[in-house]
Amino acid sequence: MSSSGRTALVTGASAGIGAAFARHLAAEGHDLILVARREDRLTALAAELSSKHGVRCEVLAADLADREAPRSIMERTTSLGLHVDILINNAGMSGNTAFADAPFETLAAEIQVMITAVTELAHLAVPGMKERGYGRIVNLSSLAALLPPAASLLYTAIKSYVLDMSQALDMELKPHGINVTALCPGFTHSEFHDVMGTRDAAQSKLPSVLWQSADAVVREGWRAVENGNPVCVPGVVNKVIAASSKPIPTRVGYVLGKTFNPFKQ
């Protein structure tokens, strides 16, 4: 397949939803800038996608917990003669230690990766998108952002910011040909729970019907941003959960959030 002439920057591209987005976009003919900490995995994925789809794949090893990373990524992109038409803000992290017990450096890293870097990468990419009259931005939020508060460290609060920010950006930017979508998956088969150390706990507590594949999440998320939908909750079961949570009074939701906490060890 020949290149579409458009370039997608995917963060957290070494595994899970990020790698699935990279594969999906490559199959559509988009050139790729793959960003993650694990350069060896990015290099292997880039080789696979270039060979299979004939698209250009550039690898940028970076840790988005580094305050300078977003600007460095965009500067490197420019030096490669590329511009970002599609931005997939997928990189994420979450601790598994109670807020009061976690070192503040850990909490600050979560905020940097999932709030500051997400916002800054969009801020850096949008001017060029406006100039070209085209842009697609997918920000990874979570089903958790649509549910009553849960005792899951900063994760729910962070993902709620991503949800609200994405909707605000979509309203502002849609007249310029830029669609922004907050993708709100539920439990997804990926390495996220392995890193958190909660895969066994989550899988033992939750029925299999609640779990989705990364490919299924990506298909719905990409269709949503192409169609101009500012929020995407992938999966029928997740849609039902999100819809049914809306009428729950705050006080009841707070009790439920503390009681049902799949992140709790």
> Which residues are known catalytic residues?
155, 159
135-140/211-213 β-pairing: unpaired
Helix axes 69-79, 117-132, angle to 10 degrees: 30
- Name the 3-class secondary structure at 89: strand
Supply the DSSP symbol for 115.
I
In whole angstroms, what separates CA 95 from the centre of its chain?
A: 17
What are the structure tokens assigned to 192, written together? Answer: 């996220």
**Cβ atoms within 10 A of the Cβ of 264, count?**
16
* Rounded distance between C-alpha atoms, residue 165 and residue 112, angstroms: 15
Cα separation, 77 vs 90, in Å, equals 18
Burial, 260: exposed, middle or buried (Cβ in 10 Å; 0-12, 13-18, 19+)?
Answer: middle
